[in-house]
Amino acid sequence: MKILITGAAGFIGHHVTQRMLADGHQITILDRLDHSGNLNRLSEIGIPNSQTRFIFHDLRAPINSQLAAQLGHHDWIIHLAAATHVDRSIDEPMAFVLDNVVATCNLLDYARTTDSAFLYFSTDEVFGPAPPGVAYKENDRYNSGNPYAATKAGAEELCVAYENTYKMPILITHTMNVFGERQHPEKFIPNTVIKVRDGQNVIIHADKTRTKAGSRFYIHAAAVADAVAFLLARGQSGQKYNIVGEREVDNLELAKLIADIQDKDLTYEMVDFHSSRPGHDLRYALDGTKMKALGWSPPHSFEQAMTNTVNWTLANPHWLLDMKLKEAA
């Protein structure tokens, strides 16, 4: 198939692109190479090549007729491009409205003129914090805890509206806390890898008592890409799908696993989650029953995927920050 992928130079985007190439598709990459876009990711997975072409565009601006002609027809549009940094969304909410809501609307306007199927990549954060024992299903209510989540929810609703109004074939996915190769080094997992390697203190976000660590259903980016490939073949228009890791892991357990993989001791400090990072929630949880019923589950265990990621990261230190240099700066 011919597939247009926005945000392909981003962390999740380049894993999805790698999978689509492996499946033999022709890929058009649409990216503006902003905060999270990095061409080195694409270079390391063998792009450019005969299956791909790259077109620069900032989706905050509409896709005009000249650009539309250059893009041509695609069987699928996979919309991964987004501003995602929660802390920055709290400081600059309007920038996230432009990047996530306006940009999605511009892409939907283009898609409805091209007879392309559309997959929108959303987040667990639209549902807000999950109480113990609760895992949100695809169509549960929104309860955005920060501007980033609200803009992703807004873009989701635009997709629903375009499917209802223009009868566009649209799928929506939610996923949470993706990890893997070439992740931004300030994210928790690569940051913990380097701190454990160097014997530094790891900050574990916790509740107010500093005894209960925050928890997530972590999932490897290659598993997310596998789920996307599955949905291109099996997904139904107008439906939402949760892409969920195999089990819930709290951040202290995760840090200990990263230390064990390196055969290192873990030095850590539990920090009041909300006091240190307002807008972040202690626990997120999605229900993966729908995808499981369709026949999809993560292709590798959490432990195996994490072991592979830690070992790869240590073998590729150019994707890590030197924490000592960062602190000195």
Can you tell me which residue has the tokens 């949880």?
285
- Confidence at residue 320, expressed as pLDDT on a 0 to 100 scale: 87
pLDDT band of residue 277 (cuts 50, 70, 90) is low
Q: Is the pLDDT of residue 327 over 60?
A: no
- The CATH number covering residue 169 comes to 3.40.50.720
In a domain, 290, yes or no: no
Within this chain, do residues 62 and 194 fall inside the same structural domain, yes or no? no
| % of the chain beyond a pLDDT of 70 | 96
Averaged pLDDT, 258-270: 97
d(CA 275, CA 282): 11
**pLDDT for residue 322:** 55
Point out the least confidently predicted range of 77-91, 277-291, 305-319: 277-291
Residues 256 and 208 in one domain: yes
- Full residue range of the structural domain in which residue 205 is found: 183-216+249-282+300-324
Q: Does residue 36 form part of some domain?
A: yes
Domain count, the chain: 2
pLDDT of 7 above 80: yes
Alpha helices in 28-146 (DSSP H): 39-44, 65-71, 86-91, 93-96, 103-111
Q: Is residue 230 domain-shared with residue 255, that is, in the same domain?
A: no
Q: Each residue of 114-131: pLDDT tens digit?
A: 999 999 999 999 999 999
Structural contact between residues 27 and 228, judged by C-beta atoms closer than 8 angstroms: no
What pLDDT is stored for residue 325 in this prediction? 43
What whole-number distance in Å separates Cα of residue 44 and Cα of residue 39? Answer: 9
* 192: three-class secondary structure by DSSP: helix
Residue 66 is which amino acid?
Answer: Q
Asked if 149 and 261 sit in the same domain, the reply is no
Average pLDDT over residues 164-174: 98
For the chain, give the mean pLDDT.
94
pLDDT in the model for residue 218: 96
* Residues 169 and 309 occupy one common structural domain: no
Please indicate, yes or no, whether residues 191 and 78 belong to a single structural domain of this protein.
no
Are 42 and 189 within one domain?
no
114 and 37 share one domain: yes
| Catalytic residue annotation | 124-125, 148
Backbone φ, ψ for residue 320 (5° rounding):
-115, 155
Instruction: Please tell me whether residues 85 and 113 are part of one structural domain.
Output: yes
- Are 165 and 98 contained in the same domain? yes
pLDDT at 270 over 90: yes
Give the model's pLDDT for residue 276. 63
Residue 324 has pLDDT above 60, yes or no: no
Averaged pLDDT, 104-114: 97
pLDDT of residue 34: 81
